[in-house]
């Protein structure tokens, strides 16, 4: 039976086949409510004989940054047009916010406009490039992401494209940046029983299949991990029935250069119960994203391959679960890392640094010019910085400058943290072993003592540890990301690698 309904126009029959449009307007540089259309918006306004500006004027006061208005039936090809406020066009890099304000305004505005049109069940949206097609694309792709794979009722799937004659290459680059972060969000958001260590490894392998001509993937088994004498990694994994996997990615984007300039390491705890030092149940479900370091690192390498960046990157992701069982680490146990150092495990919930210790030791076998590791490592980092920025601990001023420069472009900021000997003494003053996996003063400076612990397994002159625990989730802090796992700082890692691909690394 056909449902009885009344259509108000013939066009309504083809609603889902028609397109939506997002256009941007800038605030006036003067203290008034006047608006300045972007180039694309001005073009549409001309086609409509000035109807767009007329409606904007009579529909309320000036359109402020991040606000939007929806107009219906104005354009033959677009049943819905969302006009979004971009703020002032004159804004650039802000010395106090450490980002490009104009780029951030574009990302937020475009994301908001695309979401409004998605709620109108439109399946295709054209987007104003707003004089910065890459930022507009990032806003559109990131703003439309949702994880509803396991729901019966799903959000409308929306495709986007650049409207008008903007920079197509910038748009395509922004789409890849956004899709890279969305892959990390997808992996972090998925339940732990759906993304086990082996499933994680298979997912990354499948995503890299189109780039098989210049990417090699190794899925190392538990037997290989044992052969490498990664005692710290194995001690964490033995509490779970899921076998560990050591994922190794080789992206060869510069075949004429045998030297590996960049090595990325990501913590891959696919679920962290705390082990015997069991976490409180409230919020423990978020620990499905404790593999956020591995997710961002692997997603960044996939994005680098899609962009065909002229750089060689090796990615390492030790993957396992941290579970309580009769075989799990017990407080006071001593384990031996790959480099022969012994570690007293006083807190089994400080497991991420154990698996990273062995991965960092293995990383040095490739003689890299620079090592960057990412990990949702400490709650102390969330306390220190919240979700504003990723904490960076590094022994290299040069490496810090490159990471900071990249984060200003992406708006996904980083902040340098101290790597003092003050903290090293707190992890080396140990009763039973060479190191303790927690600082002697417990929670005081917890993020700093964790970084000091990792430094004991690093000899490379250019190393950075990114503690991403604070930026792991998003509530309402980043307007172009919905509530949930954030996938940060994937875009910053990609922009960092892209920057290195066009300059020589120091020896």
Q: Is residue 268 classed as helix, strand or coil in its secondary structure?
A: strand
- What's the rounded Cα separation, in Å, for the pair 134 and 151? 31
Placement of tokens 């997808």 in the chain: 186
Q: Is residue 391 classed as helix, strand or coil in its secondary structure?
A: strand
Contact (Cβ atoms closer than 8 angstroms) between residue 333 and residue 238? no
Phi, psi dihedral angles at 432 (to 5 degrees): -110, -15
The encoded tokens of residue 466 equal 């990114």
The encoded tokens of residue 432 equal 């039973």
Half-sphere exposure at residue 82, Cβ-oriented, CA atoms within 13 angstroms: 28
340-398-260-195 Cα dihedral, nearest 10 degrees? 70
- What's the rounded Cα separation, in Å, for the pair 427 and 440? 6
Options 18, 279, 405, 416, the catalytic residue = 279
Contact (Cβ atoms closer than 8 angstroms) between residue 267 and residue 222? no
Does 489 sit behind a cis peptide bond, omega within 30 degrees of 0 on the bond before it? yes
The encoded tokens of residue 471 equal 């930026």
| DSSP per-residue letters across 404-428 | HHHHHHHS--EEE----HHHHHHHH
Contact (Cβ atoms closer than 8 angstroms) between residue 45 and residue 21? no
Options 353, 455, 482, 491, the catalytic residue = 353
Query: Sign (positive/negative) of CA torsion 277, 338, 471, 390?
Result: positive
The encoded tokens of residue 494 equal 């990609």
Beta strands in 87-197 (DSSP E): 93-94, 99-100, 124-128, 159-163
Indicate if 416 belongs to the active site. no
Indicate if 279 belongs to the active site. yes
Active site residues: 279, 353
């Amino acid at each position: 039976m056909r449902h009885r309904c009344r259509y108000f126009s013939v066009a309504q029959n083809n609603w889902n086949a028609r397109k939506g449009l997002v256009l941007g307007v800038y605030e006036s540089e003067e203290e008034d409510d006047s608006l300045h259309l972007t180039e694309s918006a001005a073009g549409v306004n001309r086609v409509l004989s000035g109807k767009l500006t007329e409606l904007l004027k009579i529909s309320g006061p000036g359109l402020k940054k991040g606000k939007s208005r929806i107009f219906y039936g104005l354009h033959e090809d677009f049943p819905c047009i969302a006009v979004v406020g971009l703020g002032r066009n004159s804004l650039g890099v802000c010395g106090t916010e450490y980002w490009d304000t104009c780029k951030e305004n574009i990302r937020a505005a475009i994301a908001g406009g695309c979401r409004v049109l998605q709620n109108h069940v439109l399946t295709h949206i054209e987007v104003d490039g707003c004089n910065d097609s890459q930022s507009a694309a990032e806003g559109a792709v990131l703003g439309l992401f949702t994880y509803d794979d396991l729901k019966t009722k799903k959000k409308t799937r929306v495709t986007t494209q650049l409207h008008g004659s903007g920079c197509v290459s910038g748009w395509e680059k922004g789409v890849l940046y956004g899709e890279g972060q969305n892959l990390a969000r997808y992996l972090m958001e998925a339940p732990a029983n759906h993304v086990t260590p082996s499933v994680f490894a298979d997912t990354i392998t499948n995503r890299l299949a189109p780039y098989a001509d210049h990417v090699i993937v190794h899925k190392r088994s538990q037997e290989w991990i044992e052969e490498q004498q990664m005692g710290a990694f194995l001690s964490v994994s033995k509490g779970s029935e899921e076998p560990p996997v050591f994922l190794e990615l080789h992206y060869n984007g510069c075949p004429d250069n045998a030297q590996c300039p960049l090595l990325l390491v990501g913590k891959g705890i696919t679920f962290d119960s705390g082990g015997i030092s069991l976490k409180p149940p409230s919020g423990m479900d978020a620990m499905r994203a404790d593999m956020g370091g591995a997710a961002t690192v692997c997603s960044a390498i996939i994005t680098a391959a899609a962009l065909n960046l002229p750089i060689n990157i090796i990615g390492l992701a030790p993957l396992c679960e941290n579970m309580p069982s009769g075989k799990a680490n017990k407080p006071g146990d001593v384990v031996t890392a790959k480099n022969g150092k012994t570690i007293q495990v006083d807190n089994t919930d400080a497991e991420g640094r154990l698996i990273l210790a062995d991965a960092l030791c293995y990383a040095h076998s490739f003689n890299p010019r620079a090592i960057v590791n990412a990990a949702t490592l400490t709650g102390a980092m969330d306390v220190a910085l919240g979700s504003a920025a990723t904490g960076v601990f590094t022994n290299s001023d040069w490496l810090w400058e490159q990471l900071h420069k990249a984060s200003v472009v992406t708006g996904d900021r980083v902040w340098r943290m101290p790597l003092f000997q003050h903290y090293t003494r707190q992890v080396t003053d140990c009763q039973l072993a060479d190191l303790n996996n927690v600082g002697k003063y417990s929670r005081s400076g917890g993020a700093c003592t964790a970084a000091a612990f990792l430094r004991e397994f690093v000899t490379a002159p250019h190393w950075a540890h990114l503690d991403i625990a604070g930026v792991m989730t998003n509530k309402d802090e980043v307007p172009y990301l919905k509530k949930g796992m954030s996938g940060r700082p994937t875009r910053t890692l990609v922009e960092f690698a892209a920057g290195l691909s066009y300059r020589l690394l120091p020896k």
